[in-house]
Amino acid sequence: MQDIHIPLARPDIGESEIQAVNEVLRSPFLSLGPRLAEFEEAIGARTGARHAVAVSSGTSGLHLCIRGLDFQPGDEVLTTPFSFIASANAPLFEGVQPVFVDIDPRTLNMDPALVENALSPRIKGILAVHAFGYPAAMDSLAPLAARHGLKLIEDACEALGSRLGNRHVGTHGDTGVFAFYPNKQITTGEGGVVVTNSQEVAARLRILRNQGRDPDGSWLDQVALGYNYRISDLQCALGLAQLRRLPEILEKRRRVAAHYDSLLAGNPNLELPVRPAETRSMSWFVYVVRLHQRFSREDRDQIVSAMMALGIQCGRYFPPIHLQPYYRKRFGYRPGDFPHTEAMADHAIALPFFTAMQAEQVETVCRRLREVMAPYHRRP
Ligand SMILES: *Cc1c(COP(=O)(O)O)cnc(C)c1O
């Protein structure tokens, strides 16, 4: 592969971030210091959640949600197979089986119309994913979960800044998780945060993230089987500096997406990402186009390879979770089980997308994509 001229994603780190991390390095508090509580408070203020518990990754946050909401081995949780693998793995860490329902092909999120039929006495919760930052149908899922006594977790790892109505995603259920890997809207290097409005759940999560130690009692009282899912103060300082820039970051990403929209509109071979209705607002995580259905998966793979050869890094988000070798072997899933997920997975191309992306870079990507796809235009 040629050198990457335009990467798929890139963090946007400025001087204020570097300075914030340096300050922590000059202090004696590299972990469990003052930045942790400040970061959690800032996340709470930004999302409107009453409590925020910062952790080592989005995945550890999802795991703690399963533990903290008291799922038991043998329980099942409804979720979608069109997601990053962690949203299905986290329940499995606790012997809780993810039971998949297909996505709405327009929103790429759980289709609420399929949920009632998928319920059974073993289903104890719903884990809704806000894929690519597009807000899932929490306005349907939250009342449905309440009606059936189900716990509700939001995987908002790709959706910091997205809203439904006037409420931030992640605050519609029992818990919500955001993640800060370097390709997300904001980064802490590695990191995540769980938000909740329940004091009790927040307290439990704080115990579990720190070895099961009682936070009020002595450091050495272990009251539960916990983990080291702590996040360092270096990371929290970075997260705080990034969070201060969030409005600027979201606006820049919105502009990159709008520029792509304007350059790619009218191409009969491409479907562009959907925009949410006006009661929702979307924080752009990635920019994923969908090839027309007459393209095969092999066509898509060739187009992606051709772009890569030109130094433009493209992604194939997401490979369906149910078709991963581990899931096929353990649960017997087969191609055809979730047609909307598979059709999207076979036709998706994630184009380079990041906060500091320049207009000329967007133009280069679109020009190259047009060239690479040209042979396909002439097909009958
Ligand atoms: C990024 C992400 C996560 C968590 O990822 P970590 O790398 O563990 O922080 C979980 N779910 C989705 C949908 C994600 O995109």
Outline where DSSP puts E strands in 198-335. 270-271, 280-281, 287-291
Using most ligand atoms within 8 A of CB, pick from 55, 63, 158 the residue to mutate for ligand 1. 158
58-67 pLDDT per residue, tens: 999 999 999 9
What pTM was estimated for this model as a whole? 0.97
How far apart (Å, rounded) are the C-alpha atoms in residues 156 and 142?
A: 15
Nearest by Cα to 208 from 62, 98, 85, 44: 62
Instruction: Specify burial of residue 135 (Cβ count, 10 A radius: 0-12, 13-18, 19+).
Output: buried
The binding-site residues of ligand 1, defined as CB within 6 angstroms of any ligand atom, are 57-59, 83-84, 86-87, 129, 155, 157-158, 179, 181, 192
The per-residue pLDDT for range 294-341, each reduced to its tens digit, is: 999 999 999 999 999 999 999 999 999 999 999 999 999 999 999 999
DSSP state of 219: T
- Residue length of the chain: 380
φ, ψ (nearest 5 deg) of residue 283 = -95, 125
The 8-class DSSP code of residue 294 comes to T
CA 286 / ligand 1 centre spacing (Å): 13
Confidence label for 270 from pLDDT (cuts 50, 70 and 90): very high
Q: What is the pLDDT of residue 1?
A: 46
Complete edge-to-edge strand list for the sheet that includes strand 151-155: 51-55, 192-196, 175-179, 151-155, 123-129, 76-79, 97-100
Pairing of strands 167-168, 163-164: antiparallel
